[in-house]
Structure 1
Amino acid sequence: MENRLRHLLASGGASSLVVAPVPWFPSRHDRFGDWAVHARVPAAESRHGIDILHPRYPVIPKVGMSAAPWLLYRAVLPVVRRLLAEGHRFDAIDAHYVYPDGVAAAWIGAKVGLPVVITARGTDVNLIPRYPLPRRLIRDAIRRASALIAVSGSLKQVLVELGAPDDKVTVLRNGVETQLFRPPVDRAAARATLGLTGPTLISVGGLIERKGHHRTIEAMTRLPDFTLLIAGEGPERPRLEALITTHGLRERVRLLGSRPHRELPALYGAADASVLASSREGWANVLLESMACGTPVVAAHIWGNPEVVREPAAGVIYEPNTPEGIAEGVRRLFAALPARAATRMYAEPFSWDDTTAGQLSLFRRIIDSPAGA
C-alpha cells in the first residue's frame, strides 16, 4: 500500500495525508509482543515524505471482528473532522481492505461528504464475507463506495458476486520495485555468503498458517537434493521448528527470521526458485519480487497467482496445494528451468507505472463527477 501511494505521489498528480489507526494497548514492554509494538507506534510520523497520523482505537477480544468497523469509524471520524476544520482540503478518501477499514471509510465519507474509493486485497473479500454480519456490512460498503479497486481479476469477480456492478470495479494490480528487486551483480558471492552449494528454494512471508510454510517444509522430505530458506517471522515459528526437527531437516531447512526489505533481493537472487504455498492471496507481491531478481517461482493454484505466473519464464503453477503438489511443481520447474534473464525480462513490465496511471484516471473521474461517483 505504501509503495502504491509513493508512486502515485511521485507522479505529481496527487497529494495525500494518511490516517492509519493502531490498536490501543497500555504497555510498551517487550513481553507483550505485537501488542507492545502497537503501543510504541508514534501518534504522528513521516515516511518517504508522507505525513501519517496514528489515532488509537480499542480492540475488543472475541467480538473484535464484528465491532472493528464501528470502532475504527469512531476513532477516525473526529480526526478527519479536525483536519477539515483546520483547513485541509480533501477530494476523496482512498481506503484499503474492504473490511473493516473500507466499511468504516464508507461511513466517514458519508458523514463528511467525500467520495470513497475502496481497494480489495484478498482475505477481506474471499474469506471474511463468509460471516453473516461482516458480509452485510461489506455489501453496504460496496453500495456506498464511489468506486472499487481489485488487485486481481479474481478479486474483481468476488466483488461482483457480492453485489458490485461490473463497471464499478477497476483492476489495478500491485507492482514491483524493479530498481530495488533486480538480479545480484555477483550471484556466486550472494550464494557463498549464505553457504549455498546446491539447488536452493526460498519462501518469503510471515510465519502464519495461511502462508503454508509447513507444507513447503514437508515437501522437502520429497526433495532430498534441495535446500530451503524461509524468510519471515511469526507465531508459527515453534511449530515449524518442531516440524523441521521431526523430519530431520535441520541441515537443509533454515528459518532466517524477519529480514529488512532491502535484504530480500540478495536472498531471492541467491535462490534457484521461490515457493509460495499460501492458501489465500489477493495478488502476491513476493512472486513479482522473486521474478524481478531473476528467480522463477513455484506457486499454488489459488486466487490471483495464475494472473501473475502466465508464462514458462515466470515459473509454474502447481496443484493440489499439498506437500506432494509442491514437490511435483518443483520437479516440473527444474526439468525445464528458464534462463534467469528471461525471468527478469518477464517481470519488468510489472512496474507501478500502469497502476499509477489507472489510479489517477479513476480519482479524476470520481472527483469530477457531480455526484462523486
Structure 2
Amino acid sequence: MSDPKRLLSISTLYPNAARPRFGTFVSQSLEALADRPDWHVTVINPIGLPPVAMGDYAMLAKAAVNRECEAMAVYRPRFTLIPKIGGRLNPRMIARAVLPLARRLHAAQPFDMVDAQFFYPDGPAAAAIASALRLPLAIKGRGSDIHYWGTRAFARSKMLDAAQQSARLLAVSGALADDMAELGMERAKIAVHYTGLDRDRFRPLQHEGLRRLLSERLSIPLAEREPLLCTIGALIPLKGQDLVLRAMVELPEARLLIVGHGPDEARLRALADELGVAQRAHFLGSVDHDVMPLILSASQAMVLPSAREGLANAWVEALACGTPIIIGDVGGARELVRGPEAGLIVAREPESIAEAVRILLDNPPDPADTAQVVGGFGWAEHAEALDRIYSEVIAA
C-alpha cells in the first residue's frame, strides 16, 4: 500500500476544553477523513487571545493545549486578538502564529496539501501558509463566512485573493456555491460537499415511551399526545426563534423545546413572557449529545426559519431522526426539501410557520421516508467525497 496522503488543515472552528461543542462538524469531518487508511490529517487550531486574557478568554487560554495521537494530531498555537480591529488583522496574525509550527511539521514529514475549514479568517491565513510551503490549497465555505464576511470590503478582497490561489473551493450546498460565484469566485473551482452525519446516533427512535424518557432527562412534563416542536440553533436574531415564539400563539396546544444559547436569550425569554407562551416554551441551552436525538425523534417538527444558512447541520440531523423540518427559503433548503416527506419551506412569518405546523400535524410523513432524505449523508460517504476532491487537488 502506498503512503497515506498528508493534509494540513487550518481551522479556527474546532472543539477544545473550554468550548467542547464549538465546530464539532469540522472535527467530525476531519476525523472521518483521518479514519481512512489513505489519509493522515494534522490540524492546526489557532486560538485568538487578547493581550490580557480575562473572563472567558482566561478559560480559552487554558484550552490552548496540543493533542498528539497517531490518527490525528491537533495543535493549538495562540495568536494575538486585537479588540475592535481584530477582524481586519486576524488572517495576518494567524499566519504569523501558525507558520513557524507548520514549517517544523512540514520539515519533519512533508504535507501534500493545505486546507482551510472556514473562509475567513482561515482562508487568507491558510493561503499564506500554503504559499510559504509551496503546497496546493483548498478552502471550504460554510455559510456565515460567505454571507457575513463577504459583505465587508476588507475581508472580501482577502477572500477573493485566497480563492484565486486555491486549487479547489468547497461549498456546503449548491446554493452557497452560487453565492460564492456571485461574490467573484470562479464557479468551475467550486465543488459541493455536503455535511456529514453520525447515522448511528441520528436515526428514527421508537416513539413508545420516548416522551416519558425525554421528560425525565429534561425534567419537563411532556404529555404523550400534545404537539411537540423543537428549534435548534444559536440564539441570535438571524435564526428566527422569535418568529417561532410568535407562531406558538396560534398553536395553543403545542409545546416548544428551544435548544441553543447565545446573546439573544434574554430578549427571547422576555418575548415568550410577553406573548403568554413562556409556560410552553422551554429554553434548554446546550444539551448532551445523547439527548439531541431524543429531542428530534420525539418532536413532530424541527422549526428553524433562519434568514441565512448554507446547509444547516440541524436540518440534516432532524431529517435523519425522521423529523420533518419547517425552514425558510434560504441556502440549500430546496436541496433537501424536495417533497412532503422532508417538511415545508415557508415565508419567515409567524402565520406561515403556524400553518406549516398544522399541515404536518394533520399529515405527518412516515419517519422512515423522512430519514431517507439524508440517506447518503453518513460520515463515511462524506469522507469518500472529500477524498475524491482532495486527491484531485494533490494530483493537479
Q: TM-score, normalised by structure 1?
A: 0.92
1:142, 1:163 within 8 Å by CA — same for their partners in 2? no
Alpha-carbon distance between aligned partners in 2 of 1:346 and 1:124, rounded to the nearest angstrom: 26
Q: How does 1:134-173 map to 2 (within 5 A)?
A: 134-173=155-194
Alpha-carbon distance between aligned partners in 2 of 1:173 and 1:339, rounded to the nearest angstrom: 24
Which residue pairs with 1:191 in the alignment?
A: 211
Which residue pairs with 1:119 in the alignment?
A: 140
Secondary structure of 1:138's counterpart equals helix
CA RMSD between the two structures: 1.9
Which residue pairs with 1:68 in the alignment?
A: 90
Which deviates the most, 349-358 or 306-315?
349-358
Which residue pairs with 2:72 in the alignment?
A: 50
1:347 and 2:374 equivalent?
yes
1:269 and 2:289 equivalent?
no
Alpha-carbon distance between aligned partners in 2 of 1:337 and 1:27, rounded to the nearest angstrom: 54
Alpha-carbon distance between aligned partners in 1 of 2:250 and 2:58, rounded to the nearest angstrom: 40
1:38 and 2:60 equivalent?
yes
Which residue pairs with 2:350 in the alignment?
A: 323
In the alignment, structure 2 segments of 5+ residues that lack a partner are 1-25, 216-220
1:142, 1:164 within 8 Å by CA — same for their partners in 2? yes
Report how far residue 26 of structure 1 moved.
6.9
- Output the amino acid matched with 2:79: Y
Report how far residue 326 of structure 1 moved.
1.8
CA deviation string 1:24-83 (max 9, x = no partner) = 157777xx24x3442231321258953111111122122122112111111111221122
Q: Which of 87, 100, 105 is the aligned partner of 1:78?
A: 100
- Output the amino acid matched with 1:62: K
Alpha-carbon distance between aligned partners in 2 of 1:83 and 1:259, rounded to the nearest angstrom: 37
Alpha-carbon distance between aligned partners in 2 of 1:248 and 1:37, rounded to the nearest angstrom: 38
Secondary structure of 1:44's counterpart equals coil
Provide runs of 4+ in structure 1 moved above 4 Å: 25-29, 46-49
Secondary structure of 1:225's counterpart equals coil
In the alignment, structure 1 segments of 5+ residues that lack a partner are none
Which deviates the most, 159-168 or 292-301?
159-168
Q: How many residues align?
A: 363
Secondary structure of 2:121's counterpart equals helix
Which residue pairs with 2:18 in the alignment?
A: none
Residues 240 and 40 of structure 1: CA distance in aligned 2, closer, same or farther (over 3 Å): farther
- Output the amino acid matched with 1:305: A
Which residue pairs with 2:30 in the alignment?
A: 5
Which residue pairs with 2:3 in the alignment?
A: none
Report how far residue 233 of structure 1 moved.
1.6
Alpha-carbon distance between aligned partners in 2 of 1:28 and 1:160, rounded to the nearest angstrom: 39
Which residue pairs with 1:217 in the alignment?
A: 245
Q: Percent identity?
A: 35
Alpha-carbon distance between aligned partners in 2 of 1:210 and 1:267, rounded to the nearest angstrom: 22
2:50, 2:83 within 8 Å by CA — same for their partners in 1? no
Which residue pairs with 2:21 in the alignment?
A: none
1:364 and 2:388 equivalent?
no
Which deviates the most, 48-57 or 61-70?
48-57
Which residue pairs with 1:128 in the alignment?
A: 149
- Output the amino acid matched with 2:316: L
1:207, 1:233 within 8 Å by CA — same for their partners in 2? yes
Secondary structure of 2:278's counterpart equals coil
CA deviation string 1:253-296 (max 9, x = no partner) = 00011112222111111111111122211111111111111111
Q: TM-score, normalised by structure 2?
A: 0.87
